[in-house]
Homo-oligomer: A and B are copies of this chain.
């Protein structure tokens, strides 16, 4: 976020509200880990997936390094090596442990990492409780950023745990829940029509935003229609059954390579048993729910499906323009489902359930300025080779999402809760 929005963000809260919010978010991260066995905390089955223990420690390091060590010259770090172990990718902050080897670190133990968390949480609370107005004005934007950063990692915790557990033939269950099979009625598909024109997108105002959402700027949109809901599992199954994964002409060239080299035949976590489709969920292996949004698909698959229908993905500007006036409601992490829910006729599902791939590459907005200093590496340096997703998912904290929020992943990625809606 640029520094002006950071400052504004901080002014919206007084220090004690901020302290409460901070503490609540910190506790929520730990709550998400409660179902885990100690053995689960260290798993890193693929380089993209980080161990739960690493998420717990890295989000803590963020506050230690960017808030405490900055604000208090006498601050004593919890352990001198944690700076090396839990810096994720900030080159300006020094050398860091290779991402691929995060799963090789058994010490600190889980208990020690929780101690680290308590140590830092308390130190931040102390700082908030004891700082002058002037100091508060300086630290609040970074604490705000740290809170949002930790919320991002809450989502990654859920998706990484899901991926890690899915690789175990024991099929561990993260939590028990009843089935949520939807009604047989397929939800209606309404199209929302928008007239072309010059519109504004991007963030502005008092609330928190990341630097990549600003500045707010004008874009020209032609007339367009956008689907009133995401594509569902039952619709996607039609694509599969029509040979979608075997027809090169439906795919981007890189996508077709991905299909063949990974032998993709369905979304991630899906398997077919006796003619029925099942998917691995955090509540165990369940039948695929026909009327829930299709999920765990790559950009390539979303794009191929769109081509199969003769439609396309919306751009991120189209999506934002359509979503901007809608209330931020939906199936977020707080619902405790950790899975997309069946759609009903009345919901638009712009928010929650599944991140929606757009047809826009993740690039800087006109006039984009990264944050100053080390923290400028937060977003800007990833602006190549990725596509934008919008809307949040069933693993996103409700308070973390907004119309202007830009998520981004490589085109082949599938392990996030990723789906899409059509446009034309």
- Footprint of B on A, CB under 8 Å? 37-43, 45, 53, 81, 84-85, 89, 91-92, 97, 101, 103-110, 164-165, 167-170, 172, 198, 217-220, 222, 248-249, 251-256, 299-300, 303, 312, 359-361, 363-364, 366-367, 376-377, 381-385, 411
List, in ascending order, chain B residues with CB within 8 A of A300's CB: 384
Dominant SS among interface residues on chain A: mixed
Q: Are B363 and A106 closer than 8 Å at their CB atoms?
A: no
**6 closest residue pairs by CB, A with B:** A361-B361, A91-B248, A39-B106, A220-B220, A45-B104, A40-B106
Is there contact, CB below 8 Å, between B254 and A384?
A: yes
Distance of A408 from chain B, by nearest CB (Å): 12
CA distance A401 to B182 in the complex (A): 56
Q: How far is the CB of A112 from chain B (nearest CB, A)?
A: 9
Separation of A361 and B358 alpha carbons in the complex (Å) = 14
| Distance, CA A108 to CA B39, complexed state (A) | 9
- Cα A220 to Cα B197 in complex, Å, equals 10
> What are 14 contact pairs spanning A and B, CB under 8 A?
A38-B109, A39-B42, A40-B106, A85-B170, A91-B256, A103-B103, A104-B168, A106-B164, A106-B165, A108-B170, A219-B220, A255-B384, A312-B364, A359-B364
Q: Nearest Cβ distance between residue A259 and chain B, in whole angstroms?
A: 12
Residues in chain B near residue A170, CB distance under 8 A: 81, 85, 105, 107-108
A81 touches B169 (CB 8 A): yes
* Cross-chain contact A251 with B105 (CB below 8 angstroms): no
Q: Contact at A222–B367, with CB atoms within 8 Å?
A: yes
Task: Give the residue of B41, B299, B366 whose beta carbon is less than 8 angstroms from that of A384.
Answer: B299
Beta-carbon contact of A363 and B359 below 8 Å: yes
Selected from B39, B361, B364, the residue in CB contact (under 8 A) with A38 is B39
In the assembled complex, the CB of A424 is this many whole angstroms from the nearest CB of chain B, namely 10
Known: A101-B167, A249-B376. 13 other contacts (CB 8 A): A39-B42, A39-B107, A42-B42, A45-B101, A91-B248, A106-B165, A107-B172, A198-B198, A218-B220, A219-B220, A249-B377, A303-B384, A361-B361
Query: Which residues from chain B contact A253 at a C-beta distance below 8 Å?
Result: 89, 381-382, 384
Q: Which residues of B contact A363 (CB under 8 A)?
A: 359-361
Contact of A92 among B105, B248, B376 (CB under 8 A): B248
Chain B residues closer than 8 Å to A110, beta-carbon distance:
39
Least Cβ–Cβ distance between A379 and chain B, in angstroms: 10
Quick one: closest B residue to A222, CB to CB? Answer: B366
A357 → B minimal CB distance (Å): 12
Interchain CB contact (< 8 A) of A39 among B101, B109, B377, B381: B109
Among B45, B92, B359, the residue within 8 A (CB) of A249 is: B92
- Residue contact B411 to A384, C-beta cutoff 8 Å: yes
Q: A164-B106, A363-B359, A382-B253 are in contact. Are A169 and B91 (CB under 8 A)?
A: no
Closest to A91 in B: B248
- List chain B residues, Cβ under 8 A from A252: 381-384
Residues of B contacting A104 with CB < 8 Å? Answer: 43, 45, 164, 167-168
Chain B: CB-nearest residue to A247: B91
Residues of B within 8 A of A107 (CB): 37, 39-40, 168, 170, 172
Contact across chains for B169 and A97 when beta carbons are under 8 A apart: yes
- Give the docked Cα–Cα distance between A307 and B333 (Å): 38
The residue in chain B whose Cβ has the minimal distance to the Cβ of A196 is B218
Closest beta carbon of chain B to A173's beta carbon, Å: 10
Q: Which residue of B lies closest to A424 (CB)?
A: B367
* Distance A254 CA – B383 CA, assembled complex (angstroms): 9
Query: Given the complex, which residues of B lie within 8 Å of A220, measured CB to CB?
Result: 198, 218-220
